[in-house]
Structure 1
Amino acid sequence: MTAHVDVMELVSRMRSADEAFVLATVVRTVSVTAAKAGAKAVIRPDGTIAAGWIGGGCARGAVLKAAQDALLDGESRLVSVQPENLLAELGVQPGESREGIRFAKNTCPSKGTMDIFVEPVLPRPSLVILGASPVAIALADLARYFGFHITAAAPPADFTERPNADLLVEGFDIPETYSAHCYIVVSTQSKGDEAALRAALKADAAYLGFVGSRRKIAVLKAKLAADGIDAAALARIKAPAGLDLGAITPEEIALSILAEIIERRRHGQRQPAGRQSS
């Protein structure tokens, strides 16, 4: 697929399927270049171009490297491919970044300049909420505003109202499709605490929070340890879940939990002011 419409159709399909990819767009060209401003390409995480075209080998390597980096840190970047003499005039080396622009050398005979905007499109983060407590319901409501894909899991009889979730699961069986990019909160309010924790511990989640007192989680951990659950796995449980905001109401507790999840998710993605990645 090389037509512009094909690129945008694929972008729409991949967004709907929650697939990760990069959309690369040529935003400026100077002198002779194979691709012109407006050219687009969809790049998959494995580095293959799924649709579109942004030029030949002169720009491909630099763009693919920038695409991989963008998928890792979630940040867009601008790549400027220029002939060696122009880089020398600017006083930059190939691969160097300055003021948000990553420079690369154009080795093709055309000696043109291309600026390509590299934009990562990442799947929505997955939030799995085990339980039907007021905190669980409030957390599902709040997390939707922050773009999470929400799975609510609990026995149907426990729900006094339908949670604002993308997926409802009967019981505490977490879908196997979830990976280290998901965030799990157990908020069962004594209705199946142990069963929910056992299910949550099977997933290699980026965050596992338990809504309950330190005394309750200590008792549960002791029981799970006695049943052979690994100590390292139990140590992953954050209890009580949430940042210490002095929260009291279900809505406030939900806010503290979501704040902690966002803090965990964004850790390492922000660089100190003035630093540029290379």
Structure 2
Amino acid sequence: MTPDPQRPTGDTEFIPDLPERLAGLAREGAAVVVATVVSRRAPVSAQVGDKALIHADGRMEGFVGGACSREIVRRQALLALQGGQARLVRIVPGAAPDAEHAFAERVTVPMNCASEGQSEVFLEPLLPPRLLVVVGHTPVARAIAAHAGLMGDRVWRVLDDDEVPDEPEAVPLGALTARLAALPAAQRARVRSVVASQGHYDETAIEALLRAQPNPVGLLASARRAATVRDTLRVLSGFSDADLDRIRAPAGLHLGARTPHEVALSVLAELVQLDRAGHGAAPLPVPAAPEAEPTTLPPAAGSTPPAAPTGLAAQVMGLTELPVLTGDSAVDPVCGMTVTLPAKHTADHAGVTYAFCCPHCKARFLKDPARYLTPS
């Protein structure tokens, strides 16, 4: 049989061992639609109970009708996958078509091929659970995580490495890049994230999130603070303006929220709004900064582990490798704050190592060291 040039590569008419196939797709974190013929009026080639799997790339396995019905089901399945909810598709010759919408529950599609029969196909999207990454050891971060759990999301609480002993189930910030990289691609595409550390390690977390997953990153901060974070990342991590445009700040809808739980409500409401509006589609991954190694999936068991990350994340993960200044403390040359040693943020200039209280001070120093080393 001559291959159909319109059919995606990999289309088949059979699904061997459907339960096992579905279990395997779930383990892979893949998104798929199960199509089932639930009614028919002859003459049609499909029978009640016939099934097909439609993958996110449009590839189809199984049989739910002839060439025209197959393409109708394929298109409607991809719309159902986009909306994330089931739908009933009526395929009727000569019918007036319903408007296409990702969130339609019941649609009628005209059969334009030479057929007098009609059928109804039930489409059930099976999506990996959305993963919400919540960064911060703050009341707002705890509230966001709690409410997201009630919504059925998987939640990762991400804390600075020295905060993890307080919450042993949390993900250490230094391990975030590797944990995200280990996810199947389909699951990374459904990652949502909110950085609510409120200034403690915003830049470090955002760098890891931008590099390891393709979606926007919400930042709980004022517009002024968000601008500072973007500027710091531009200097220290090499991100372009296009990369930094993925930072959504201030995160949350403008509800007049004041308490942590009210702020959590506004943040999660915005995520729902974005998903329902279809703005959650994953853009292209952020390219690695000039001096950073690109993020790759972890190797198979028994192989060489991935290289340690660079940039701000490396500073958090490798404190013992940082230059250690003499004494127990140093003065940040930018803001004058006393910094306890060993410091998380350091920079070498003219053979001298300087310590900083935060990435922002380090970025300002590197822009113009002479400004901060000239006696006033």
TM interval, short-chain normalised:
0.7 to 0.9
User: Which of 126, 143, 168 is residue 121 of structure 1 equivalent to?
Assistant: 126
User: Which of 199, 214, 217 is residue 208 of structure 1 equivalent to?
Assistant: 217
Q: What is the deviation of 1:242? A: 1.4
Partner of 2:79: 69
C-alpha spacing 1:254/1:42, structure 2 compared with 1 (3 Å): same
Counterpart check, 1:48 vs 2:59: yes
Q: Give TM-score, length-normalised by structure 2.
A: 0.57
Counterpart check, 1:11 vs 2:22: yes
User: Which of 207, 231, 253 is residue 198 of structure 1 equivalent to?
Assistant: 207
Counterpart check, 1:155 vs 2:166: no
Q: Report the secondary structure of 1:101's partner residue.
A: strand
Amino acid at match of 1:100: V
Q: Deviations over 1:121-163 (max 9, x none)?
A: 2232232222332222221221122232323322343143356
Tell me the matched-pair count.
Answer: 252
Counterpart check, 1:37 vs 2:44: no
Q: What is the deviation of 1:32? A: 4.1
Say which structure, 1 or 2, has more relative contact order (CA 8 Å, 6+ apart). 1
Q: Which blocks of at least 5 consecutive residues in structure 2 are unaligned?
A: 1-13, 100-105, 280-376
Q: Report the secondary structure of 1:188's partner residue.
A: coil
Q: Report the secondary structure of 1:140's partner residue.
A: helix
User: Which of 166, 181, 194 is residue 185 of structure 1 equivalent to?
Assistant: 194
Alignment of 1:229-244 (within 5 A): 229-244=239-254
Give the superposed CA RMSD: 3.0
Partner of 1:26: 37
User: Which of 230, 241, 248 is residue 258 of structure 2 equivalent to?
Assistant: 248
Q: Which blocks of at least 5 consecutive residues in structure 1 are unaligned?
A: 270-278
Q: Which has the larger radius of gyration?
A: 2
Identity of aligned residues (%): 34
C-alpha spacing 1:106/1:223, structure 2 compared with 1 (3 Å): closer
Q: Report the secondary structure of 1:114's partner residue.
A: strand
C-alpha spacing 1:214/1:68, structure 2 compared with 1 (3 Å): closer
Alignment of 1:126-145 (within 5 A): 126-145=131-150
| 2:173–2:205 Cα contact (<8 Å) kept | no
Q: Deviations over 1:169-190 (max 9, x none)?
A: 4526332346454222112233
C-alpha spacing 1:103/1:145, structure 2 compared with 1 (3 Å): farther
Amino acid at match of 1:152: R
Q: Which range moved further: 203-212 or 34-43?
A: 203-212
Q: Which range moved further: 32-41 or 252-261?
A: 32-41
C-alpha spacing 1:153/1:250, structure 2 compared with 1 (3 Å): same
C-alpha spacing 1:221/1:57, structure 2 compared with 1 (3 Å): closer
Partner of 2:226: 217
Q: Deviations over 1:194-229 (max 9, x none)?
A: 312322332564331222344433433333334343
| 2:82–2:278 Cα contact (<8 Å) kept | no
| 1:189–1:212 Cα contact (<8 Å) kept | yes
| 2:131–2:153 Cα contact (<8 Å) kept | yes
| 1:66–1:79 Cα contact (<8 Å) kept | yes
Amino acid at match of 1:171: G
CA distance in 1, matches of 2:173, 2:15: 44
Q: Deviations over 1:50-85 (max 9, x none)?
A: 4x4324435322222322333234354433344xxx
CA distance in 2, matches of 1:204, 1:37: 41
C-alpha spacing 1:46/1:197, structure 2 compared with 1 (3 Å): closer
